[in-house]
Amino acid sequence: MSLTETSSSKCFGGVQKIFSHDSKELGCKMNFAIYLPPQAEDGKVPLIFWLSGLTCTEQNFITKAGAQRAAAEHGVAIVCPDTSPRGLNIPGEDESWDFGSGAGFYVNAVVDPWKKNYRMYSYVTQELPELVFENFPVLPDKISIMGHSMGGHGALICALKNPGKYKTVSAFAPICNPSQGQWGQKNFSGLLGPRGSGDNDLWAQYDATLLLKSYVGPPMDILIDQGAGDPYLHELLPENFVKACQAVNMPVVLQMREGYDHGYYFIASFIDEHIKHHARYLKA
């Protein structure tokens, strides 16, 4: 599959690049960013996927989080996709900031008119990894995943639905229990249909807190950072996720950060710790 490089900038001895490609899964052109650390010049390196939150593109993380310095230090690549398909002319696609464009929620939609293109779960767990493994010097068996808010939830469900695929998972201010919050309910009902509809309960299959109950796989050392001053805490419900982890003996650390809010200043403050956490498992 062909990739078009749209930018390439040297950064901490490595290179921050952006590519576009035609996505089969999503039926549109997609951008993704990849940071290759200096170590990638001499051989294959481990890879962390970053999933961003509502309203983001592939740009927010690479320009605001300051992750490249720690990625270069630990010799890990980072891939960051866009957060939804775009430019499809689906009615309602660009009407609200928390649904449609910029809000793919990392699920495979089953409801018309979204189900043909809104397949971000398959895109981030299959199509994008395969594309990256084919085209860049990364180790397919040394991958992990992290993200923020909607993307923090995306990281948690990708890891919980694919035991053993990701060496570890971490999240900043993840939407932990989307079935219980307005953002989750709006997107799950729009993309997956009413709660409990269909043969299977799709909401439970895409809700990190509910997924924990059926997880069978190696324990993951889940790391979550949460700003104690985050105005969206009522949407995020980290305490529900921690309780569910405790019930199934899943190791989890929730670090409440006094005074921090929901934004990228918070992420930038703790991203080094997250990359160090991932490097520990990616290099084990």
Q: Give residues in contact with ligand GSH (CB under 6 A).
A: 53-56, 60, 64, 97, 148-150, 262-264
Nearest C-alpha neighbor of 207 from the set 226, 229, 227, 187: 187
Order the strands of the 252-257 sheet from edge to edge.
Answer: 3-11, 14-23, 28-36, 77-81, 45-51, 138-148, 169-172, 222-227, 252-257
Considering the complex, what minimum distance in angstroms separates the CB of residue 171 from ligand GSH? 12
Considering the complex, what minimum distance in angstroms separates the CB of residue 148 from ligand GSH? 6
**Vertex 149: Cα angle to 166 and 14 (nearest 5):** 60
**Number of neighbouring beta carbons within 10 Å of residue 110:** 14
Is the CB of residue 45 less than 8 Å from the CB of residue 39? yes
Please, which residue, 53 or 227, has the CB nearer to ligand GSH? Answer: 53
Beta strand pairing call for 28-36 and 14-23: antiparallel
Please, which residue, 97 or 164, has the CB nearer to ligand GSH? Answer: 97
Amino acid sitting at position 237: L
Considering the complex, what minimum distance in angstroms separates the CB of residue 182 from ligand GSH? 13
| Positions marked active-site | 149, 230, 262
Please, which residue, 36 or 155, has the CB nearer to ligand GSH? Answer: 155
Considering the complex, what minimum distance in angstroms separates the CB of residue 236 from ligand GSH? 10
Please, which residue, 92 or 140, has the CB nearer to ligand GSH? Answer: 92
